[in-house]
């Protein structure tokens, strides 16, 4: 049986302007922080000066300083006070980038932990149903409880079948393996001989 893909997966997207205004805004909102982060990393790693001019702006050292220098076409003046300020600023930016990376890693770790805790909570809720007094359950809860019990019964029978098949060569009498005559296969196990399993 061939399974159809539920999603289109990763596909190459043509880099052209998005015409739909709403889609354009959504795409920008999703991607602008990544753009600023990459620009900041570029400044930190290479010491380059970058200015991004979009609905939100980012500049290193500042947008106005870079635009003013670009418009006047004069090279950056080098004096000791500027060098000291620039070095201090770069250290601050690098420190903030490191903190951001640590916080993002911590956020991802906590996000995964949250998913794990949610799964454990769901399992815990299922387990606590066994402990609830049946008389306190409403009709819907009783139906869910019944379905859970049927699922449990199915799983137990499945495990018992596996054990019987694994050990059928070691034990000649099925009654010894299933002394209570539990109905594992839609028939009473006490009424059949071990040869049924071969």
Long-range contacts of 56-64 (CB under 8 A, 24+ apart): 56/32, 60/93, 61/86, 61/89
What rounded mean pLDDT belongs to the chain?
Answer: 75
Q: Assign domain 17-76 to a CATH class.
A: alpha beta
Highest mean pLDDT out of 12-16, 90-94, 107-111, 135-139 = 107-111
For residue 110, name the pLDDT band (cuts at 50, 70, 90): very high
Q: What is the pTM of this model?
A: 0.32
For residue 194, name the pLDDT band (cuts at 50, 70, 90): very low
The pLDDT of residue 63 is 75
Q: In sequence order, which residues have a C-beta less than 8 Å from that of residue 69 and are 6 or more positions away?
A: 75, 76
Condensed to tens digits (0 to 9), the pLDDT of residues 36-78 reads: 888 888 888 888 888 887 765 666 677 777 778 778 876 655 5
For residue 132, name the pLDDT band (cuts at 50, 70, 90): low
For residue 196, name the pLDDT band (cuts at 50, 70, 90): very low
Residue boundaries of the structural domains of the chain: 17-76, 77-131, 136-197
Q: Percent of the chain at pLDDT above 90?
A: 7
The pLDDT of residue 111 is 92
Task: Return d(Cα 89, Cα 51) in angstroms, integer.
Answer: 16
CB atoms within 10 A of CB 178: 19
Task: Return d(Cα 193, Cα 183) in angstroms, integer.
Answer: 14
Q: Give the least confident one: 97-101, 151-155, 162-166, 183-187.
A: 183-187
Segment 175-183 mean pLDDT? 56
């Amino acid at each position: 049986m061939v399974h159809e893909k539920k999603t289109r997966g990763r596909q190459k997207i043509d880099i052209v302007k998005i015409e739909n205004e709403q889609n354009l805004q959504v795409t920008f909102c999703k991607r602008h922080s990544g753009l600023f982060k990459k620009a900041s990393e570029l400044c930190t790693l290479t010491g380059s000066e970058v200015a991004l001019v979009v609905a939100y702006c980012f500049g290193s050292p500042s947008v106005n300083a870079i635009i003013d220098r670009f418009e006047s076409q004069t090279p950056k003046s080098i004096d000791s006070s500027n060098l000291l300020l620039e070095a201090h600023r770069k250290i601050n930016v690098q420190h903030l980038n490191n903190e951001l990376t640590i916080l993002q890693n911590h956020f991802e770790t906590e996000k995964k932990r949250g998913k794990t805790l949610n799964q454990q909570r769901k399992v815990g809720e299922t387990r606590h149903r066994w402990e609830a007094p049946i008389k306190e359950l409403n009709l819907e809860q009783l139906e869910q409880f019944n379905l859970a019990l049927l699922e449990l019964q199915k799983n137990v029978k499945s495990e018992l079948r596996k054990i019987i098949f694994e050990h059928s060569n070691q034990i000649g009498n099925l009654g010894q393996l299933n002394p209570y005559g539990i109905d594992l296969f839609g028939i009473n196990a006490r009424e059949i001989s071990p040869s049924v399993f071969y």
